[in-house]
Amino acid sequence: MTPQLALAALVLGPAVVGVALALAGTTAGPRGRAVADRAAFPLAVATAAAALGLAALAAATRASAQAPFLAGAPLGLGVDGLSAVVVPAVAAVVLLVLVFAWADVREGRARFAGLMLLFAAAVSLTATATTLPALLLAWEVMGAASYALVGFWWRDDARVGAGTTAFVTTRAGDLGLYVALAGAVGGGLLGAGPTGGLALGDLAALPPGWRDVVAGGLLVAALGKAAQLPFSWWLSRAMEGPSPVSALLHSAAMVAMGGYLLLRVEPLLAATGWAATAAAWVGALTAVALGVVALAQRDLKQLLAASTSAQLGFVVLAAGVGAVTGGTAQLVAHAAVKALLFLVAGAWLTALGTKQLAGLRGAAGIWPVVGGAAAMGALALAGAPPFALWTTKDAVMAVALEASPALYAVGLLGAALSAAYAGKVLVVVLGRPRRGEEARRTWDSEQQGTRAVPRLAQAPLVVLALAALGLAVLGLPPAVGALAPTLGQDPASAGAGALELVVSGVVAVAALVAVVLLVRADRLPEPAWARAWLGLGAATDAVVRATLRAAEAAARADDALARGAAALARGVVGTAGATRSADDRLDAGVRGLAGRTDGLAAVVTRADDGVDRAVHGVAAGTKRLGGLARRAQTGQLHDYYAQLVVVLGAAAVGLVLYVSLR
């Protein structure tokens, strides 16, 4: 298989299988749907496994491919150093999540597996896109697939609403991509360069002005997808979707692609200056603000969602300060850790019927494999040595320190908060398990639990837990040294120094211990403003309400406009009448009025009759198509027609005179 073909198949294979499965799962007859549901996961897992192989092949061969699309703006795909790391990582998470879902998802299996594959295809295209049209195409399909996945349980209005919130919010950010594409066109990139036009790699060389437009657009789009401030709220709502969806979309893929895009266009951000600074600060502040939000949550999935925003804040920060190597490492490590934790949350939700921390006390002790994986995931999320996020975050922080001590300080606070909210999870799930009556009272708060975690669902947890430990190498000098040159970075300044590692390790452990003590003493503050996601939900609701009010006002104004147009029409007809001779006018006016009144009365009083007559008249008229134009069905029509012709005829004569006398 040629590299080019492998790359195309990586995108098209899952897309075709996914669409076919989703269509079969929704539109086939009952028997067909049953067959599709049975075949769905074996087929999907096989497809995902093949995609992982293709991703590895494409990464190893640095494949590239192209398809014509718009004039001077083709769809370009290619694997470079950055995507060579990220694309296989995402493909691996897709595979693991699908294996888990095989055991976890009970209804609509074909639709679920199909949508997941379609989503995976969109992510592969997003990550390999080398031109703006390819990126925009993949980016929005990714959003639509996420809408369908978050609203997967469509009988529940709130869940579909959550999908709508996710799609509309991220699309608000996506408008930035449209602006960026237009900016690249304005900057003369149509048909330029070896890719055939609008290449992502050429953006940094745009002339100032258009370059700023493009950078701003991409920044907004990326912040929206990555659930950074002020867009974070949609991620909270998205937790109403199935857990495996969160395990893919809100760890390795959708949100991660926001951070990924900024890493990819880091030279452009740096070229403008302001865009890089803005990214760095938004990332750092999101790490802190959403860290506080995470710490205040009492629902495990909400906590994990807020922590996703916060952890991606470090990726965005990395793109802002030019720490592409560290950012990439952080992206991949976070993908593994967060996929693991969302799957654990999902396994417990299915088995115990709850995702409330209160109900999950001691959950780790019930299924030791799940519990052990959860503990490793939480420790990794805390940034505790020797787990993955400890080193990767520091690879970012080391560069941030050089850029600005203030940024570093804010980032360090974010790191401490990570340890704190991870510690909150850890202390709860590792606590003394509930028994008997007490357990029955707190379990099943969301749904009836199955009290079982199948082997098939446990297997991916083990793999991901090992990754949460092993990926620590990504932030350490040997791996950084190997990775940095492929990302166009200097290996010497890309990794975390020993001092940073010690400092952050100590900070993480200290914060962890502090939170454990506070939770034990039941004195951990959970302020309402933080639990409510800083009021972002209320703000979103306010925007929605204002928009709907504006829409209703516009609709009323439009109705008034329609009435005005009708009144104007009557006025015009009246004026036309006035131009006739007085007798004629009187005569016609009286007759017209009488005719109209009669016609209206006839319609109102003998409605059926009137309709019938009109209908028969029309039918008769239709048979004489040749005479249609001249044939008037009612006195009304005839009247108006003649009068309009008079007015327009007069205007035409006037214009002819004007033009010929000019």
Partner 1 sequence: MLSLVIFLPLVAAVVLAVARGLPDAAARWAWVGVTLVEVLLVGVLWARYETPAPGALAFDQQVEWIPGLGASYHVGLDGLSLPLMALTAVVFAACAVYALAESTRPRSQAALFCFLQTTCLGLFAAADLVVFFLFFDLSIVGMYFAIAGWGHGNAPGSAQRSALQFFLYTFLGSLALLLGFIGLYVASGTFDMVALAADPPLVGAGMTGGLVLAAVLVGLAVKTPTVPFHTWLPPAHTDAPAVGSAVLAGVLLKMGTYGFVRIAMPMLPDAWRSSAWVLIAVGVVSVVWGALVALAQTDLKRMVAYTSVNHMGYVVVAVGAAGVVGGSAEEARALAVTGAVTQMVSHGLITGALFLLAGVLHRRAGTYEISRFGGLAGRAPRYAALFAVAAFASLGLPGFSGFVAEVQVFAGSIAAVPWTAVALVGILLTAALFLRALQRLLTGAPGEMTASVADVRASELVAVAPLLVLATLIGVLPRPLLEVVEPAAQTVVALVGR
Binders in 134-153 for partner 1, by CB under 8 A: 136-138, 140-141, 144, 147, 151
If the CB atoms of residues 35 and 651 are measured against partner 1, the closer one turns out to be 651
**How far is 27 from 282, CA to CA, in rounded Å?**
44
**How far is 149 from 166, CA to CA, in rounded Å?**
11
Residue of 492, 561, 567, 642 interacting with partner 1 (CB under 8 A) = 561
Q: Restricting to residues 566-585, which ones interact with partner 1 according to CB under 8 A?
A: 566, 569
Q: Smallest distance, Å, CB 571 to partner 1?
A: 13
If the CB atoms of residues 525 and 626 are measured against partner 1, the closer one turns out to be 626
Q: Which pair of structure tokens corresponds to residue 71? A: 């004039």
**How far is 39 from 437, CA to CA, in rounded Å?**
41
Q: Smallest distance, Å, CB 615 to partner 1?
A: 6
Residue of 46, 358, 513, 562 interacting with partner 1 (CB under 8 A) = 562
Q: Smallest distance, Å, CB 310 to partner 1?
A: 27
Amino acid at the residue 489: Q
Rule CB under 8 A: say whether 619 interacts with partner 1.
yes
DSSP letters for 155-216: TSHHHHHHHHHHHHHHHHHHHHHHHHHHHHHHTT-TT-TTTTS-BGGGGGGSPTTHHHHHHH
Q: Which of 280, 186, 165, 168 is closest to 234 using CA atoms?
A: 165
Q: Site map for partner 1, 493-512, x if CB under 8 A?
A: --------------------
SS3 70: strand
**How far is 19 from 6, CA to CA, in rounded Å?**
20
If the CB atoms of residues 26 and 493 are measured against partner 1, the closer one turns out to be 26
Rule CB under 8 A: say whether 650 interacts with partner 1.
no
**How far is 250 from 295, CA to CA, in rounded Å?**
18
Q: Site map for partner 1, 96-135, x if CB under 8 A?
A: -------------------------------------x--
The secondary structure element, H or E, covering residue 287 is helix 274-296
Phi, psi of 299 (to 5 degrees): -110, 125
Q: Which of 66, 58, 74 is closest to 2 using CA atoms?
A: 58
If the CB atoms of residues 492 and 615 are measured against partner 1, the closer one turns out to be 615
Residue of 36, 93, 213, 407 interacting with partner 1 (CB under 8 A) = 213
| Contact region with partner 1 (CB under 8 A), list: 350-358, 369-377, 548-556, 585-593 | 548-556
If the CB atoms of residues 131 and 458 are measured against partner 1, the closer one turns out to be 131
Residue of 3, 18, 88, 183 interacting with partner 1 (CB under 8 A) = 183
Q: Residue with structure tokens 């893919």?
A: 248
Phi, psi of 64 (to 5 degrees): -145, 150
Q: Site map for partner 1, 153-182, x if CB under 8 A?
A: -xxxx--xx-xx--xx--xx--x--xx-xx
Total residues found in the chain within this entry: 662
Rule CB under 8 A: say whether 34 interacts with partner 1.
no
If the CB atoms of residues 69 and 403 are measured against partner 1, the closer one turns out to be 69
Rule CB under 8 A: say whether 188 interacts with partner 1.
yes
Residue of 69, 507, 516, 589 interacting with partner 1 (CB under 8 A) = 69
Q: Site map for partner 1, 215-234, x if CB under 8 A?
A: --------------------
Rule CB under 8 A: say whether 274 interacts with partner 1.
no
Rule CB under 8 A: say whether 205 interacts with partner 1.
no
Q: Smallest distance, Å, CB 132 to partner 1?
A: 9
Q: Smallest distance, Å, CB 275 to partner 1?
A: 18
If the CB atoms of residues 526 and 612 are measured against partner 1, the closer one turns out to be 612
Spatial contact of 602 and 610, defined as CB atoms under 8 Å apart: yes
Residue of 27, 450, 579, 597 interacting with partner 1 (CB under 8 A) = 27
**How far is 460 from 450, CA to CA, in rounded Å?**
19
| Number of chain residues interacting with partner 1 (CB under 8 A) | 89
Q: Restricting to residues 351-390, which ones interact with partner 1 according to CB under 8 A?
A: none
CB-neighbour burial class of residue 385 (10 A; exposed 0-12, middle 13-18, buried 19+) = middle
**How far is 229 from 279, CA to CA, in rounded Å?**
11
Q: Smallest distance, Å, CB 579 to partner 1?
A: 16
Start-to-end C-alpha separation, the chain: 74
Rule CB under 8 A: say whether 554 interacts with partner 1.
yes
Q: Site map for partner 1, 620-649, x if CB under 8 A?
A: -xxxxx--xx---xx-xx--xx--xx--x-
Q: Residue with structure tokens 């003394």?
A: 432
Q: Smallest distance, Å, CB 384 to partner 1?
A: 41
Q: Which of 308, 333, 305, 328 is closest to 318 using CA atoms?
A: 328
Rule CB under 8 A: say whether 610 interacts with partner 1.
yes
Q: Smallest distance, Å, CB 106 to partner 1?
A: 17
Residue of 32, 42, 68, 470 interacting with partner 1 (CB under 8 A) = 68
Spatial contact of 487 and 495, defined as CB atoms under 8 Å apart: no
For 149, how many CA atoms within 13 A lie in the half-sphere containing its CB? 30
Spatial contact of 8 and 121, defined as CB atoms under 8 Å apart: no
Q: Smallest distance, Å, CB 371 to partner 1?
A: 36
Rule CB under 8 A: say whether 658 interacts with partner 1.
yes
Residue of 555, 590, 593, 642 interacting with partner 1 (CB under 8 A) = 555
| Residue 501 φ/ψ region, left for φ over 0, alpha for ψ in the -120 to 50 degree band, beta for the rest | alpha
**How far is 438 from 263, CA to CA, in rounded Å?**
48
